Each structure stands twice: as structure tokens, then as C-alpha cells.
Amino acid sequence: MSDRVDDKKPIRVWCDGCFDMVHFGHANSLRQAKALGQYLVVGIHTDEEITRHKGPPVFTQQERYKMVRAIKWVDEVVEDAPYVTNLETLDRYNCDFCVHGDDITVTADGVDTYHLVKKANRYKEVKRTEGISTTDVVGRMLLMTRQHFYRGDKEYIVEKERSSVMGQDCLAKSPWTGCSQFLPTTKKIIQFSEGTEPKPTDKVVYVAGAFDIFHVGHLDFLEKASKFGDFLIVGLHTDPVINRYKGSNYPIMNLHERVLSVLACKYVSEVVIGAPYSVTTDLMNHFQVDVVCHGKTSFQLDINGQDPYAVPKAMNKFVIVDSANDMTTEKIVERIINNRLEFEARNQKKEAKEIEIIKQLEKEKQNLRSC
């Protein structure tokens, strides 16, 4: 199939999915999809459809709609998209073809959700982001183990670990939902970054925090903070610093995962990787910050007992922003823990289904070789 006969018309690309616990893997798929055309339409399934085919979602459909709309490569969101992608949907939104990652998505009955568009040759595939999946993130919260962000001298090395949730080796099963460690590269960060500098006339806004399990609360805060200026810089604290002030086994996502999740947000202009906990004079001068914003959530004093925002406050450049959203990472973890058995069952069911499909594909390959 040719992409377009009439070069004057923009190529419209369709993507769909659950987009539950929206993370940088979802964003990367949408980034790749957008690169195949000029206009990206994203269809999102309802809570009811997701529950029927794969188990209960963590985020509500309204939360998922809002999160996807804020990803900078998305041009349009279609709510209540059918779980099985069909030609009628593509035609209704004037999309030339559908794009999906190279993992497998099936209905409750085991049917490939893209079989119709594949048969019509209106399907294209992009590489799935390795080392991240919603199932993996849910598994981290069920385990609440420090292994996901602190590895000491073994940091970023993928190795087999025992999972009490799955009752099996994390890496030994499905390549799509098995637990794994994200391997960061400068190339990936560059792909997500706008790479632009603030103009001399731009008013620079600075915010800082963990931004762990990027969610609608973060999103609403960043949207409102961005309105205080023209160029929004987000400082991300390191994993040990977050663990010091949040305790337990936070963060759930490691620093590099959080960098990509924040960079994918359309309100964010730049990210400071491993920003200092206290906003210093040097930081203010280096980035020529005009205003520093913080949400209504409380914050701890620095390790030296000082207010981390003392400098911008003294410069009269500090603003408290009310996001009007009380969502927190802790509340998301509570959702998972309070419905632990339901989510454990969902994870096991999804992985078992994928393993069965993998076995079937291997069997078909062997049959072809023997012919």
C-alpha cells in the first residue's frame, strides 16, 4: 500500500490502546507512529472494554484520556475506541493506516486485535520500548522492592530476579510483560527532547520534584506552572534523594525512566537530570529562572535543616500553585495494594496468554522450516 497518492494531503496515522499507567514506553510508541506521518490520532479504550479483555485498569478512562492528550506527539484523541481495530474506524477519522508496537495484543478470546487492518494491508509496526510495560510497573508496586531503582554496583545490569508475585523468574517468560530493567541511552533522551533553548525574551519557570509514576496530578500542576512563563524547566531529583525524603521503597520509577516520562509532556521544555534538592542561587542564575513554582503538597527541609526554597523566596520569585488535583503517587500505589489479588490475577493472566501465543508462533515457524 502506498502511503499517499495525493502528496498535498497530510498522512494521518491511527494508534489505539489502553494507555493505562501512561509511561515513556507508550510515549515512545506514539513518537514513532507520528514519525510515519504528519497527524496522529490516538484511540483509547473504555474501562469496561479493558476489564472485559485483560482485567481492571489502574487509571480511569477520564484520567487516561487526559494523560494521552498531554503527550506532545498526539494531535487528537478518540474516546471509546473499539478494542478490535477495524477499517470503519480508520475511515471515519480519515487515517491512512494503523500503527502498533511489535508486541502481541489479543482479545479475551485470543483473537489478534489488529487482524482486520493487517489483512487490509493498513497496518504498520514500530519497535516496542524494551524494559517497560504497565504490567511491569504494577508488579513493582505489588512487590514494593528497592531492586527497581537501586542496584549498587550492579545498577542498569539486567539479571534474573525472583518474583513473589509471579512465583517464577521475572525474565524467563514473556518478553513483553516480564520484569526487566530499563537501559538508558543518550539517543533515547535526545529523541524525547525538544532540544530548544529559551529565547532572550522568554520568562523561565522552574519546578522540581520526583514526578514518580507520572500521573494526572503531575500533569495538572505542570500545565498551571507553565502558564507563569514561556519556558518550563523541570528538575528531577535522584533516586537516593527521593528515597530519603519519601521513605518506604520510593521511587517506583528510576531517574532515567522519570526523565523520559516528563520529557514526553507537551508543557515541559527542558529537564534537569538529578537536580539538587534545594534550589540554589547558582541554579537560578545558570538557567536564568524568573519564577519557581511548587504545588500545595508539603515538602521536607533539606538535609542541612534549611528550607529548599529559601533562595527563590528571598528573591521574591517563589509561587505556590494549586493544581486543583489531589492525585499523588502514594494514592496510585494504594489503588494497586487495595486491589492486590485482582491485579496479581490480571498480570498472571496476561503473561500466560502471551506465552501461549509465543509457543504457537514458534510452532508455526518450525512447521515452515520442515516444509
Which regions of the chain carry the CATH code 3.40.50.620? Answer: 12-126, 187-329
Residues 251/292, Cβ–Cβ less than 8 Å:
no
The CATH architecture that domain 12-126 belongs to is 3-Layer(aba) Sandwich (3.40)
E strand residue ranges, the chain: 12-17, 39-44, 76-79, 97-101, 123-126, 162-163, 168-169, 204-209, 231-236, 270-273, 291-295, 318-321
Instruction: Please report which residue ranges of 81-133 form alpha helices under DSSP H.
Output: 87-92, 115-119
pLDDT exceeding 90 applies to what percent of the chain?
A: 57
pLDDT over 60 at 293, yes or no:
yes
Mean pLDDT of the chain: 84
Cα–Cα distance, 192 to 27 (Å, whole number): 9
99 in Cβ contact with 32 (< 8 Å) = yes
Residue 285 — pLDDT band, cuts 50, 70, 90?
A: very high
pLDDT band at residue 351, thresholds of 50, 70 and 90?
low
- pLDDT average, residue stretch 19-32: 91
More confident of the two residues 298 and 341:
298
Task: Note the pLDDT tens digit of each residue in 31-50.
Answer: 999 999 999 999 999 999 99
Whole-number pLDDT of residue 1? 44
106-124: average pLDDT: 89
Question: pTM of the predicted model, to two decimals?
Answer: 0.80
Total residues found in the chain within this entry: 371
Q: What is the pLDDT of residues 134-157, one digit of tens each?
A: 777 777 777 754 444 444 444 333
Pull the grid cell for residue 164. 513473589
Q: Would you state the pLDDT for residue 12?
A: 98
Checking if the pLDDT of 22 tops 50, the result is yes
> CA-based Rg of the chain, rounded to a whole angstrom?
22
Omega cis (within 30) before 251 = yes
Helix (H, G, I), strand (E, B) or coil at 181: coil
End-to-end CA separation in angstroms for the chain: 29
pLDDT higher than threshold 60 for residue 167: no
Fold of 187-329: Rossmann fold (3.40.50)
Mean pLDDT of 154-161: 34
Considering 3-12, 151-160, 208-217, the range whose residues carry the highest mean pLDDT is: 208-217
Tell which wins on pLDDT, 104 or 260. Answer: 260
Selected residue with higher pLDDT from 149 and 371: 371
pLDDT of residue 221: 98
> Which grid cell sits at 129?
520500548
